[in-house]
Structure 1
């Protein structure tokens, strides 16, 4: 708050008059942004200062001094990001015809202020998720193993050509990152492993085969995903041997289609998350419902852990999600949104997937975590 107020009351960028002052500013932070403008009354300068006012995690400077243009090898109006890592600096020349676009500059600074390779932890995860780079490539390694650490060099070598397209992230399976492993359907002993996720679609990709994770292999995989040559994978648990022995049948990704779209059955499915309190609260009612209808050969009561099993045709956005798949040809699906008790469930089933209009609707749900949380395996529930 103090920094926010300071930038509104005072200047949002430090005015630089000489090389000593400029170098002192550059040395003061890991990331420093300096605007080189020949005319400080230009409209582009106002755009630059407006951005600096809100970018509280960066330090800004401003100059119109020819000697500073010369010292830093700047020949035209340019915004330069200086950093103490990777390439050392990144230049954003101002378009002479279109001027300085604040949105484009903001994206440039956010992209280039990040390390080419970022280690995932509670401090870096907010910046990773706000990076506006849709594709994230994750290398899962055990940092305590020398042979895993050796992979980091090749991973970093592959990163520069994908700056702005793919965010390279290292996940230490030996740290508190079990939630990230779970999100990708991995176990710690499967490291080293490479996965790519598109943050907009949440589609996940894995390289084929088990070859060495060299710089060339990493680059080839990235190119293949970006060009649409790799199909996304869906998480699925193995089908339990006793999946159909209980009144509530256990569905996973591998047997879902076979059961849900059996034309001879009316199938009522609960999509749940193990951590969801709303799911736990209705568990007894779901078991009682299954017990009640266990002798009805045309009715199946089932459940599917949607955190461990993904269905391309049925994305789940909250827990619990209840869907009814009526018998007959076609792939008809009815979503249940009413009271979660045995009486109302029974009315719904006995009426062929419909309820009287006066029935109450919309019970609370817990949101589905679109991305792995940064500090807990149990995402916060919202009513």
Structure 2
């Protein structure tokens, strides 16, 4: 090997190894790009990376919390870094990691990536990272520390293992336990006095339940035991605990909506009485609608202000399905009967629907709502192309002139209907909208609809329609002008969207996501 070759390779190695040293920081967060990404991942064995878009409302909301989390990690001198990537400026990273929408957050541990699924605030980010790196277990040395630790959180797990090997196994197990703060006691006298444990074991504390639960069996069974017992008899809904409440293996829920006042205690007592009959089978949840961050969860369940107090049911067994009582009776026996009918599948499925406009079929674009969707979209004599949109969605706003022009091109075609439906106010059984806008064709000669996955322009939409139906447009396919600037109304809509998503994300799970999904990209907002 020549001296030149050795020198050249040396320069490459030095540049590659020290590339991360040149990485800029923004409020404690590393700023990565296509060039320095690999070097940063190689240097830091624990690094959380947010791939964002500058225009994304969710990313803007996350930014200050993300920075505070990075600063807290640095202050606590923890071996974890936070980084961010503008995915709109770094195409290689965008193509590799963006599969649904913004922000996409990945945790890289020794180069291996997993999805971040913790709470999107500074404390949630830090605690999730601690849990993934084995830093989550807090050592408790006094009865006062145990008392403070158990009172600080709704659900807490404390373990006592005097054997060093078992203690290490417990701490390794703790890494895989999410959403629950975990404490550790090594002193035998303290364990007996404060935890009532005379031998190795765990104690589960739940703030909403008076009793604590012991586990003194093998560590291998801890996760199954936790899954069955970690949720209280009644869960008080909050956005911060939404994943804990609606996640996991639990599939059925009864939800009480109420306004906190002096007169609500009897209602809560009746709700608790009914809940005891279904412990372990149905999770009972309370929602105080006077809490500002809870407003959109009511919209999600179809609860009107005049209905409150009221109850609803939700199932995740086969997609996401919601139910409401025929009569708003809330005695303990009435609630129990509603729950029994829910379990027995005797309730009528609830689907949101707007009132049908009188001129719904008079314009170039046919207006669909929940009530007339099947009648129109599944007409065996028509090809029906539907845009599922939201009024606040920037990309939906930009699509309006394209959709209007499409309506003009097919207005005289008796075989084709160009339609639209507000996906925030209407629901259809069997269809779950994950990105906005979603364009889907309901062919007249097929039972299954076909999603459009191309670029949101007139040319590609027409090509898709012709390919699937054989129906040609009547006129020239010229792209209409589309304004790219975000209006004040659209910005306000983005804020509304965030509130809606807070409610829907709380109840959405992988079960419903798999039912029907659409790609999210720069041309789609996530619903």
Question: Alignment partner for residue 34 of structure 1, among 158, 162, 166?
Answer: 158
Question: For residues 47 and 104 of structure 1, do their structure 2 counterparts lie closer, same or farther at Cα, with a shift above 3 Å needed?
Answer: farther
Tell me: CA distance 1:232–1:160, structure 2 relative to 1, closer, same or farther (3 Å).
same
Counterpart-to-counterpart distance in 2, 1:300 and 1:55:
48
Gap change, CA 1:119 and 1:4, over 3 Å in 2:
farther
Q: For residues 261 and 10 of structure 1, what CA distance do their matches in structure 2 show?
A: 54
Q: 1:150 to 1:291 in 2, by over 3 A?
A: farther
| Counterpart position of 1:101 | 221
Q: Which of 245, 264, 274 matches 2:362?
A: 245
1:141 to 254, 258, 263: 258
- Using the alignment, how far apart are the partners of 1:56 and 1:326 within structure 2? 45
Describe the shift of the 1:102–1:89 C-alpha distance in structure 2 as closer, same or farther (beyond 3 A).
closer
Q: Which has the higher helix share?
A: 2
Runs of 4+ in 1 over 6 A off after TM superposition: 3-11
Gaps of 5+ in 1: 356-365, 375-379
Does the aligned pair in 1 maintain the 2:134–2:172 contact within 8 Å?
Answer: no
CA distance in 2, matches of 1:288, 1:189: 41
**Residue ranges of structure 2 left out of the alignment (5+ in a row):** 1-72, 80-129, 472-496, 507-523
Partner of 2:321: 203
Instruction: Name which of 197, 203, 213 aligns with 1:80.
Output: 203
Tell me, yes or no, if the aligned pair for 1:199 and 1:371 is still in contact at 8 Å: no
CA deviation vs aligned residue, 1:286-342 (integer Å, no higher than 9, x gap): 1121133222222211111222222223332322221223334x5353322223333
- State the 1:192 CA deviation: 1.7
Alpha-carbon distance in structure 1 between the residues aligned to 2:301 and 2:135: 46
Q: TM-score, normalised by structure 2?
A: 0.57
Structural mapping, 1:134-173, within 5 Å: 134-143=251-260, 147-148=263-264, 150-173=266-289
Name the residue aligned to 2:416. Answer: 299
Residue 89 (str. 1) matches residue 212 (str. 2): yes
Measure, in 1, the Cα distance between the counterparts of 2:395 and 2:298. Answer: 24
CA contact (8 A) 2:206 2:232 kept: no
Cα distance between partner residues in 2 of 1:250 and 1:118: 40
Q: Structure 2 CA distance, aligned partners of 1:345 and 1:23?
A: 66
Q: Partner of 1:192 in structure 2? A: 309
Matching residue within 256, 259, 262 for 2:373: 256
Q: Does the residue aligned with 2:341 lie in a helix, a strand or coil?
A: helix
Which residue pairs with 2:337 in the alignment?
220
What TM-score does the superposition give when structure 1 sets the normalisation length? 0.76
Q: 1:154 to 1:321 in 2, by over 3 A?
A: same
Q: 1:331 to 1:341 in 2, by over 3 A?
A: same
Report the number of matched residues.
354
Q: Separation in 2 of the partners of 1:347 and 1:42? A: 65
Partner of 2:454: 338
**Structure-2 change in CA distance of 1:342 and 1:68 (3 Å):** closer
Give deviations 1:93-113, integer Å, cap 9, x for gaps. Answer: 314xxx5335325535xx53x
Equivalent residue of 2:349, what SS? coil
**Mapped partners of 1:246, 1:257: distance in 2:** 19
Match in the other structure for 1:362: none
Deviations 1:183-236 (A, max 9, x none): 1222211212211223462211223x3152122332333343334443532222
CA displacement at 1:275 relative to structure 2:
2.6
CA contact (8 A) 1:252 1:305 kept: yes
Change (3 A) 1:277 1:190: same
Name the Cα RMSD after superposition: 3.9
Question: SS of 1:171's equivalent?
Answer: strand
1:65 corresponds to 2:188: yes
Partner of 1:372: 504
Residues 205, 232 of structure 1: 8 Å contact kept: yes
Q: How does 1:14-25 map to 2 (within 5 A)?
A: 14=139, 21-22=142-143, 25=146
